[in-house]
Every structure is written in C-alpha cells, then in structure tokens.
C-alpha cells in the first residue's frame, strides 16, 4: 500500500504523450492517477522512490515538467534531516528566551520619600531577593509584612513586569 505522503504529482508538457507513457512503463516506472489535461499536457502521480528516475527520463527527452503536489509532512521531514543543527539551535535559543522570563533580572523600588531606599533593599535581601533568582521564589507576603512594619508605610505592592521586580512603597505623607 502506498501512502499519500509517499507520492508526488507532476504535470508534464510535451508532444507524444502516449509514447512517453509506454516508455515509462517499459522502464518499470509505476505511476497512477494519470490525467490528460489537453493535447500537450498530462498529469501523473508517481511513487517517491521513482521520482528521480522519472525526472531524469523527462529531462533526457526534453519534456517540461513541474511538481504540482508534494506532501508537506514529507517535505518538512526532509528539511529537518538536512538542517538538524539549525533545529537544535532554534530549540535551545527559544528555551533560553522563554526561561529567562522566569527569573528576576532587575529590581526597581519606587515611591520612597520618607523611608530610605537601603532599608527596603535590606528587607529584600533578608528575604533572599536578588538578581538572577526565580521569580516564583519571591516571598511577597513576608516582604509586605516587613514593609508595613516600617514607620509611615501604608501599603506595598510587588509585581513582576517582564524580568523586572517592581516594588512600590506607599507612604503616609500627611502623618
């Protein structure tokens, strides 16, 4: 049984089409789905193992041909086999890019008027927050509790924006 992905359909242009078909049969080429489109054009489907031999015969007898259908899966598999290094490189590159968003690469602290920045940085260090750590390991609740214990701090938000951890401190400016 010949699967669809093992066949290629060609359109052949030239005179003496019946003579060409008889010659291909005598050469042992198996083809199917033979259609006569007009006086000078025919379309046939050939098994891929005979494709090289068919193209050589058509070129030798100066027939024009063009590939009408090649299964995409077969084509992709051949491309991957030829370019396995590029495929491995692309997979590695994408995995690095996608996994880099899982880490904290920058820390921005905002909203400080009364509270010194080094106090906020010390609280972050005490909780293990540093550049290069996994973003999921940031202990937001503990950091918020410690920030709220500082004088004049009303609220604190921590959120990831890309690869940046943004710490926003809201202070009681009137108290």
Mean pLDDT score across all residues of the chain: 84
Task: State the pLDDT at residue 72.
Answer: 62
DSSP per residue, 16-74: -HHHHHHHHHHTT--EEEEEE-SSSEEEEEEEGGGHHHHHHHHHHTT-EEEEEEE-HHH
pLDDT at residue 112 is higher than 60: yes
Phi–psi pair at 18, nearest 5 degrees? -65, -35
Share of the chain above pLDDT 70, in %: 93
5-50: pLDDT as tens digits: 578 888 999 888 888 888 889 988 888 888 888 888 999 888 888 8
CA distance 59 to 21: 15
Closest CA to 10 of 26, 29, 22, 27: 29
pLDDT tens-digit readout, 61-78:
899 998 887 666 666 777
């Amino acid at each position: 049984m010949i699967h669809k992905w093992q066949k290629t359909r060609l359109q052949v242009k030239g005179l003496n089409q019946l003579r060409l078909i008889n010659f291909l049969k005598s050469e042992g080429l198996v083809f199917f789905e033979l259609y006569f489109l007009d006086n000078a054009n025919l379309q046939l489907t050939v098994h891929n193992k005979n494709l090289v031999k068919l193209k050589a015969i058509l070129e030798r007898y100066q027939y024009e041909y063009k590939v009408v259908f090649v299964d995409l899966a077969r084509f992709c598999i051949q491309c991957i086999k030829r370019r396995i290094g590029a495929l491995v490189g692309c997979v590695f590159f994408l995995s690095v890019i996608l996994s880099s968003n899982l880490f904290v690469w920058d820390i921005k602290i905002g909203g400080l008027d009364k509270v010194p920045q080094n106090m906020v940085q010390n609280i972050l260090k005490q909780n293990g927050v540093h550049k290069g750590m996994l973003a999921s390991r940031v202990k937001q609740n503990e950091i918020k509790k410690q920030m709220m214990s500082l004088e004049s701090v009303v609220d604190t938000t921590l959120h990831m924006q890309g690869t940046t951890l943004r710490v926003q401190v809201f202070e009681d400016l009137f108290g």
